[in-house]
Copies of this chain bind each other. A is one copy, B any other.
């Protein structure tokens, strides 16, 4: 179902009940761009830490617009043993609703716009018919504006008006208008002396050249006044609801507490919070639920529909169902249907897939992040003229290397064997044009800065991961190259051997579950 400003209000109850009855939800967003600074390969450096990745996206991705939001609800029908699916495709645009409302500016990135255009994306639907929205702060402000205006109009008892003979006040009345305004004042004053209940005075010739503007003055009794005030309040509440717009759908998803599934959804989650809720928190303070699974066979789909957010959400949900059921095959006896509320799903909740990071599978938003040792990684700084080939040449004695550029003058270089790190360090000791640090030294240097800001240090675990400071029934898996998965308590994220599953052009490699 396609939802725009035109049919939003009429569709809302359908959307609400679809969310209410669902077992789980799948979402997907389309954005006006990805990065306003570094190019995509710098934005998604293969050796980013989860925190670095989050901070980079927060800094460089949030000024783009999430302008299409796909929602697909999945409800399991026990009798039929199948899912009932409802798909919604929302077009989003921050149309200013009045003169004082926020006039949002957002960035567009040509390559992203061009990509969506090539997929047949309908920009006219977004810009002409997109549903408006407010974040929580804007909603509060607007509510206060309405309340202030209401208390003002109720409060002041004596109306003040400008005497036609006065020369003072905020603006004096020009000579040529005095007679006319005098007549209007007389008309209004006569209303107070008449016994009739309601009477209208039309001053439609105040601005002779603007025929469509007029002022109507009515005299009403107390009952009528209250009825009109009630009406006005209802109208204002409706205006407020219209302005909050699409954020109401996000509120409903959040309130439902339902599991939310996405693919490579870090950006979707961040945009959803940023655009419809509030300023994004520091990564340490996020308190949302999430799950990450990978490994799903490829599938045939109608190509034309891909990259429509609603369709992508639908596909994502289908993938999740298959993966959840796949977990069921490990049970004794195997189970064909694994519901989204199953304990088997729990270890994956609140772990957001990190695109292009080889050795950290997810960003954990309900606990500390994993930190691999990376003791085969070197941090190299060099003159800005250097290219990848210079790095290959420098390390040519050490066999295959992998270069992850950080910026113009620094990169991570991963050696294939850890025992070569010390040799590389020794040979570089007297180099003048470049400088090499071990990854541990590099992290320590950054840590010192962070410690001075009050963050705690972390210790290395035996299996190559930093020990988390929290205690939890499910701790992390068996190491950076694979994760054990079983029915015992030591359950954790599973890669199930299939990585590099590519759903969108940016090299998406994972599926995420998340609860607002």
**Contact among B95, B106, B113, B400 for A171, CB-based, below 8 A:** B400
Tell me the complex Cα distance, A172–B396, Å: 12
Q: Quick one: closest B residue to A389, CB to CB?
A: B170
Tell me the complex Cα distance, A33–B33, Å: 17
| CB of A323 closer than 8 Å to a CB of B | no
Q: Which residues of B contact A114 (CB under 8 A)?
A: 93, 95-96, 127
Q: Quick one: closest B residue to A168, CB to CB?
A: B396
Minimum CB–CB distance for A500 against chain B, Å = 12
- Bitwise interface map of A from 375 to 408 toward B, beta carbon under 8 Å scored 1, else 0: 0000000000000010010001001100000000
Q: Is the CB of B93 within 8 A of A400?
A: no
Tell me the complex Cα distance, A327–B135, Å: 56
Q: Which residues of B contact A489 (CB under 8 A)?
A: none
- Bitwise interface map of A from 142 to 181 toward B, beta carbon under 8 Å scored 1, else 0: 0000000000000000000000000010111000000000
Q: Is the CB of B103 within 8 A of A109?
A: yes
Instruction: Please tell me the size bucket of the interface on A.
Output: 35 or more
- Bitwise interface map of A from 307 to 337 toward B, beta carbon under 8 Å scored 1, else 0: 0000000000000000000000000000000
Tell me the complex Cα distance, A33–B113, Å: 17
| CB of A422 closer than 8 Å to a CB of B | no
Tell me the complex Cα distance, A3–B229, Å: 54
- Among A224-280, those with CB < 8 Å from B are none
Tell me the complex Cα distance, A246–B494, Å: 52
| CB of A213 closer than 8 Å to a CB of B | no
Minimum CB–CB distance for A502 against chain B, Å = 13
**Contact among B96, B111, B123 for A103, CB-based, below 8 A:** B111
| CB of A110 closer than 8 Å to a CB of B | yes
A123 in contact with B117 given A103-B110, A105-B109 (CB within 8 Å): no
- Bitwise interface map of A from 115 to 126 toward B, beta carbon under 8 Å scored 1, else 0: 011000011101
Q: Quick one: closest B residue to A39, CB to CB?
A: B103
**Contact among B39, B107, B172 for A107, CB-based, below 8 A:** B107
User: Within the oligomer, what is the number of copies of this chain?
Assistant: 2
Minimum CB–CB distance for A214 against chain B, Å = 22
Tell me the complex Cα distance, A96–B114, Å: 8
Q: Is the CB of B106 within 8 A of A108?
A: yes
Q: Is the CB of A110 within 8 A of B96?
A: yes
| CB of A347 closer than 8 Å to a CB of B | no
Q: Is the CB of B95 within 8 A of A110?
A: yes
Tell me the complex Cα distance, A11–B26, Å: 47
Q: Which residues of B contact A399 (CB under 8 A)?
A: 172
Q: Is the CB of A108 within 8 A of B110?
A: no
Q: Which residues of B contact A113 (CB under 8 A)?
A: 93, 127
Minimum CB–CB distance for A350 against chain B, Å = 32
| CB of A36 closer than 8 Å to a CB of B | yes
Q: Is the CB of B104 within 8 A of A110?
A: yes
| CB of A46 closer than 8 Å to a CB of B | no
Q: Which residues of B contact A171 (CB under 8 A)?
A: 400
Minimum CB–CB distance for A356 against chain B, Å = 17
Q: Is the CB of A110 within 8 A of B105?
A: yes
Q: Which residues of B contact A128 (CB under 8 A)?
A: 117, 123
**Contact among B105, B109, B123, B389 for A36, CB-based, below 8 A:** B105
Tell me the complex Cα distance, A398–B36, Å: 51
**Contact among B106, B107, B123 for A123, CB-based, below 8 A:** B123
| A to B CB contacts below 8 Å, 18 in the list | A33-B105, A93-B110, A93-B113, A93-B114, A96-B111, A96-B114, A104-B109, A105-B110, A106-B107, A108-B108, A117-B128, A122-B124, A123-B123, A123-B128, A124-B124, A168-B396, A170-B389, A172-B400
- Using A172-B399, A172-B400 as known contacts, list a sample of 8 further A-B pairs with CB atoms less than 8 Å apart, ordered by residue number in A: A65-B108, A94-B110, A105-B109, A105-B110, A107-B107, A113-B127, A116-B127, A171-B400
For the complex of A and B, the 9 pairs showing the least CB-CB separation, nearest first, are: A123-B123, A117-B128, A104-B110, A103-B111, A94-B110, A117-B127, A123-B127, A95-B114, A124-B124
